[in-house]
Amino acid sequence: VAKREDRRGDDRGVYIISVAAELAGVHPQTLRIYERKGLLNPSRTAGNTRRYSERDIERLEAIHRLTQDLGINLAGVKMIVELEAELERLRKRMEAMARELERARRTASERVRSREITDIIPLSAIPRFPWEVGS
Amino acid sequence: VAKREDRRGDDRGVYIISVAAELAGVHPQTLRIYERKGLLNPSRTAGNTRRYSERDIERLEAIHRLTQDLGINLAGVKMIVELEAELERLRKRMEAMARELERARRTASERVRSREITDIIPLSAIPRFPWEVGS
DNA sequence: TTGCTCCTCACGTCACGTGAGGTGGC
DNA sequence: TTGCTCCTCACGTCACGTGAGGTGGC
Q: What is the pTM of this model?
A: 0.79
Question: Which of A80, A102, A114, A128 should be substituted to probe chain B, the one whose Cβ sees the most B Cβ atoms within 10 Å?
Answer: A80
Strand partners, B52: B15
- pLDDT over threshold 70, residue A129: no
Q: Provide the residue type at A34 as one letter.
A: Y
Quick one: what percent of chain A has pLDDT higher than 70? 74
Quick one: what percent of chain B has pLDDT higher than 90? 61
Query: Among candidates B135, B123, B132, B117, which has minimal Cα distance to A120?
Result: B117
Mean pLDDT lowest among A86-95, B26-35, B102-111, B115-124: B115-124
Determine the Cα–Cα distance for residues A17 and A84; give it in Å rounded to an integer.
26
**pLDDT band at B89, cuts 50/70/90?**
very high
Of the two residues B3 and B71, the one the predictor is more confident about is: B71
Report yes or no: A99 at the B interface, CB cutoff 8 Å: no
In chain D, which nucleotides are within 7 Å of a protein Cβ?
4-9, 14-20, 25-26
Which of B66, B93, B125 comes nearest A118 by C-beta?
Answer: B125
Of the two residues A72 and B118, the one the predictor is more confident about is: A72
Q: How far is CA B115 from CA A112, B107, B122, in A?
A: 12, 13, 14
Report yes or no: A68 at the B interface, CB cutoff 8 Å: no
pLDDT digits (tens, 9 = 90+) for B12-55: 889 999 999 999 999 999 999 999 999 999 999 998 999 999 99
A14 touches strand C (CB under 7 A): no
Q: Are B66 and A63 in contact (CB under 8 A)?
A: no
Query: In this predicted structure, what is the pLDDT of residue A126?
Result: 58
Determine the Cα–Cα distance for residues B68 and B51; give it in Å rounded to an integer.
24
Of the two residues B113 and A25, the one the predictor is more confident about is: A25
pLDDT averaged over chain A? 84
- pLDDT over threshold 50, residue A135: no
B117 touches strand C (CB under 7 A): no
For residue B100, list chain A residues with Cβ-Cβ distance below 8 A. Answer: 101
- C1' of C16 to CA of B91 (Å): 34
Query: In this predicted structure, what is the pLDDT of residue A21?
Result: 94
Q: Which of residues 75-94 of A touch B (CB under 8 A)?
A: 75-77, 79-80, 83-84, 86-87, 90-91, 93-94
pLDDT digits (tens, 9 = 90+) for A9-32: 788 889 999 999 999 999 999 999
Residues 6+ apart with CB under 8 A from A133: A127, B126
Question: Which nucleotide across the nucleic acid strands is nearest to A72, CA versus C1'?
Answer: C15
Determine the Cα–Cα distance for residues B100 and B97; give it in Å rounded to an integer.
5
